[in-house]
Amino acid sequence: MAPAVILLLGWMLVPLTATLYFSFKKYLPLRGDSLENGLEWVGFQNYTRFVGSSSFWPSVQTTLIIVGSVLVITVILGVLLALLLDQPMWGQGIVRILIISPFFVMPTVSGLVWKNMFMDPINGILAHLFRFFGAEPLQWLSQASLQSIVLIVSWQWLPFATLILLTAIQSLDSEQLEASEMDGAPALSRFWHIILPHLGRAITVVILIQTIFLLSVFAEIFVTTAGAFGTKTLTYLIFQRVLESQNVGLGSAGGVYAIILANIVAIFLMRIVGKNLDR
């Protein structure tokens, strides 16, 4: 196992050490600070400044709202859709292909397509739809910006959740279901007592994998709102500090906070997953 583990360890530790180091320094490359000339030690100044900035807590909140809402939406809709797709029907193969497709679309494309062709307040499809029903078209990305981002990201991840849950439902022992059906158990209690517990593991996997990717949602915001209108996630805030305002020290302190946040989420998740995967 050595090479893979060592590579990953290096990949994790080297940049992490550098980030930690920069976070205690004043480092503004555009003002002539450079590694060669030595950087000024500023203690925890970057850390206090990053937390003190008015955009810090909102960005943590935005991150958690996006991750949480997308998880809830994709898991609930995913279970319902999987139940539907499990029923006998004509053309199931094609429906599966239709549903999995958004998963293959790169985030920059889905961001741009939704932003321009669907959410544009004048020519977007949704604007046409609103007008058709006599409603005033919404300025999606400014009036309901966070909801719009959640919508776009959920659209990308719903296929993943649906297909994993469908695979899990299909592996359910059908005899057990038939037996309960004969005993006259109503559909709802069958779902609640047999199907849902069976889906536990699959739901865990969906939550784990999606959280990993959702915590670092970037391109969807980059091409739609560019962080405006309350859609600035922690990732995006740090990106702006480091690359747009070229304040490496401050951005690195932010990076350390982001790592801490990710670790809190990770510990929480790993505990559930570790338990669930043992069975």
Partner 1 sequence: MARATTKTRKAVVTIAAWMIGLTIFFPILWTILTSFKTEGQAINDPPLFFFFDWTLENYAIVQERSNYMRFLWNSIIIAGGSTVLGIIIAVPAAWSMAFVPSKRTKDILLWMLSTKMLPAVGVLYPIYLMFIKLGLLDTRIGLVIVLMLINMPIIVWMLYTYFREIPAEILEAARMDGASLRSEILYVLTPMAIPGIASTLLLNFILAWNEAFWTLNLTAAKAAPLTAFIASYSSPEGLFFAKLSAASTMAIAPILILGWFSQKQLVRGLTFGAVK
Range 101-140, binding partner 1 (CB under 8 A): 101-110, 112-118, 123, 125, 128, 132
By CB under 8 A, what part of segment 189-228 binds partner 1? 201-202, 204-205, 208-209, 211-212, 215-216, 218-219, 222-223
Within residues 57-76, the interface with partner 1 by CB under 8 A covers none
**CB of 224 within 8 A of CB of 233?**
no
Q: Which one of 36-44, 68-76, 155-163, 188-196 is the stretch in contact with partner 1 (CB under 8 A)? A: 155-163
Judged by CB, which is closer to partner 1: 7, or 179? 7
11 versus 192: smaller Cβ distance to partner 1: 11
CB of 87 to partner 1, least distance (A): 4
Q: If you search the block for the tokens 């057990």, which residue do you land on?
A: 176
Q: How far apart are CA 192 and CA 134, in angstroms?
A: 41
Q: Under the criterion CB under 8 A, does residue 148 sit at the interface with partner 1?
A: no
- Which amino acid, one-letter code, is at 185? A
Q: How far apart are the C-alpha atoms of 181 and 266, rounded to whole Å?
A: 40
Distance, first Cα to last Cα, the chain: 25
Distance CA 83, CA 213 (A): 25
**Interface with partner 1 in residues 32-61 (CB under 8 A):** 35
Residue 67 Cβ vs partner 1, minimum distance, rounded to whole Å: 11
Return d(Cα 197, Cα 111) in angstroms, integer. Answer: 35
Nearer to partner 1, 43 or 91 (CB): 91
Q: Quickly tell me which residue has 């539907």 as its tokens.
A: 84
Helix (H, G, I), strand (E, B) or coil at 138: coil
143 binds partner 1 (CB under 8 A): no
Count other C-beta atoms under 10 Å from residue 9's C-beta.
10
Min dist CB 172 to partner 1, Å, is 11
Q: Which of 40, 72, 76, 167 binds partner 1 (CB under 8 A)?
A: 167
Is residue 266 near partner 1 by the rule CB under 8 A? Answer: yes
CB of 18 to partner 1, least distance (A): 3
Report the largest interatomic distance among the alpha carbons of the chain, rounded to a whole angstrom: 80
Nearer CB in complex with partner 1: 138/273: 273
**Does the protein bind partner 1 through residue 176 (CB under 8 A)?**
no
Answer whether 173's CB lies under 8 Å from 93's CB: no
Number of residues that bind partner 1 (CB under 8 A): 100
Q: Which of 161, 157, 162, 154 is nearest to 85 (CA)?
A: 162
Minimum distance between the CB of residue 89 and partner 1, rounded to whole angstroms?
A: 4
CB 111 within 8 A of CB 149: no
